[in-house]
Structure formats: C-alpha cells, structure tokens
Amino acid sequence: MRDLEELKLRVRAFVAERDWDRFHSPKNLAMALSVEASELVELFQWLTEDQSAALDSARCARVADELADVLWFLVRLSDRLDVDLLEAAERKLAANARKYPADLVRGRARKYDEY
C-alpha cells in the first residue's frame, strides 16, 4: 500500500464489488467509525496507563487491527464527502498551533485547563 490515495481507491472498489454503497450514507459511516473507535478503547479499558504502553505482541496485533478498521471508515467517509484528509490535517495543525502556543502550554500540570 503506497499511500492514502491508493487506500481510498481500493476501499472504494471493495465496497462497489459488494454493492455496499447503499449502506454507506455519511451518517452510517460516522456511526461505524465510532463503533470501531470503541473497539479500540475496549482493548485498553482495564489496563493501567503503564500496561497500555507495554503491550505484548498478541494484544498489539489486535490494536493494529482496530486502528486499521478506524482508518478504513475514515478514508471511506472522507471519500464519500470528497474531503481531502491530508489537507484537513494540515489546516488542523495550523489551527492547533494557534490554539495551544507552545511557550504557554509547556510545563503546565494539566493538559488544557490552566491558561
């Protein structure tokens, strides 16, 4: 797999071959994406933060699998709405740089609450 563009085209073909476009309203795709995100959360919910940073290889493989599912629906929904994901990410990085200036945020005890 070379890049997001190739993934988009392969997912699109996969869906067309199964005649699944009729299920893929943006509303349904957003739901499906959030369900996959929760399957990811489920793998971490009873672990401590330290345990979550030291997964054994079996659990890490399951995590990779869920990450792929999230990406699948993210790419599919973006394609359906004609959104360029990398452009959107670029805009977001710029917006976040303004919202969280490094010199103000750095060293705060909490993540967002205090400046």
Name residues contacting its own copies, limited to 45-64 (CB under 8 A). Answer: 45-50, 52-53, 55, 60, 63-64
Instruction: Count CA atoms closer than 13 A to 113's CA, side-chain side.
Output: 2
Is 98 near its own copies (CB under 8 A)? no
Taking CB under 8 A as the criterion, the residue among 27, 98, 99, 114 binding its own copies is: 27
Report in angstroms how near the CB of residue 73 gets to its own copies at its nearest. 9
- Phi then psi dihedrals of residue 37, to 5 deg: -60, -35
Is 23 near its own copies (CB under 8 A)? yes
Report in angstroms how near the CB of residue 100 gets to its own copies at its nearest. 6
Is 9 near its own copies (CB under 8 A)? no
Is 79 near its own copies (CB under 8 A)? no
- Which of 65, 76, 14 minimizes the C-alpha distance to 42? 65
- Which of 4, 3, 2 minimizes the C-alpha distance to 76? 4
The single-letter code of the amino acid at 43 is L
Report in angstroms how near the CB of residue 40 gets to its own copies at its nearest. 5
Give just the sign of the alpha carbon dihedral 62, 44, 75, 97. negative
Report in angstroms how near the CB of residue 115 gets to its own copies at its nearest. 11
Give the span between the Cα atoms of 48 and 58, in whole angstroms. 17
